[in-house]
Homo-oligomer: A and B are copies of this chain.
């Protein structure tokens, strides 16, 4: 499936303008931000055309860069995924994915309902041959030189067996290679301790499978890692099930946000500390930029025929623009095709590895 750009020479990103917490105005502001920075990007924008065209016409930088796909319905945060799959045909989310399916766009971005987006993506784009459970991968600020670690799954599914975890390792390694230019990423398997006897049965089995597979798949397996290694420098890619991953990132986000608020409070406490905050402002802004979740906004759905990015529901223009940049980078590197090829070529090896691991247990 090769994408057919509607605007010659551009990489086209299909954008669901609706369903985010802040409405389509913020999404249009986000794509304008991207358009300004990146002359190579063009957009397919999905939603009620009368609303969207007014918003777009106010942004000169979007002249000739946006093609509209008119759709009347919106998937809300309250809609159940199963409902959307049955009756969501006229929604902007459905339409945004359809453009990827038809090869009109190189990738899709949506700020909408995660469960619905995953369910629709699985139904319309289908899983890659050899993939059992797709996963959502995010970037997390870390002590590594690249500044971020990849973590997956963070919520596509609440379960993952040993074979799923092996596939997450493969897909995460491929993402790290293409999205972060790490030639030989280090993979860690999340557990409650680093000793091999620790943790649940499926983790011990996954440990054996991934060990057997690391060399063929061109990554290093560092074994079990702990929650403290998610922002650490022991591994570049953290593999876990979607329940644990989701709780972990939300705990990290909540903790970071609490510290940020307490820090602001601390700087307001006295005239001296207010003066200090003025003097430190550039340093603090640099720190904020380094760990700002908006700048790494975007969960990538891995394991589908096509690239889908889930932007945070509460993303502002900077957040939307970051998600679009990620979609662009992955499209430009041919990530979807490379991942498909890797999963296909390794599906057989994987079968062998799984069998031999089970035999030697």
A232 interface residue per 8 A CB criterion: yes
Given known A255-B255, A267-B280, contact A243–B200 (CB-CB < 8 A): yes
> Complex Cα distance A267/B283, Å?
6
Note all chain B residues with C-beta closer than 8 A to A158: 192, 199-200
Note all chain B residues with C-beta closer than 8 A to A272: 279-280, 282
How would you classify the secondary structure of chain A's contact residues: helix, strand, loop or mixed? Answer: helix
A250 interface residue per 8 A CB criterion: yes
A23 interface residue per 8 A CB criterion: no
Note all chain B residues with C-beta closer than 8 A to A282: 269-270, 272-273
Q: Per-residue 0/1 for A270-304: is the Cβ within 8 Å of any B Cβ (1 yes, 0 no)? A: 10110111111011101100110000000000000
> Complex Cα distance A356/B220, Å?
51
Give the shortest distance, in Å, between A242 (CB) and chain B (any CB): 7
Given known A248-B248, A251-B230, A263-B287, contact A258–B142 (CB-CB < 8 A): yes
Give the shortest distance, in Å, between A224 (CB) and chain B (any CB): 11
Note all chain B residues with C-beta closer than 8 A to A279: 272-273, 275-276, 279
Contact partner of A283 (CB less than 8 A), chosen from B249, B270, B290, is: B270
Give the shortest distance, in Å, between A317 (CB) and chain B (any CB): 23
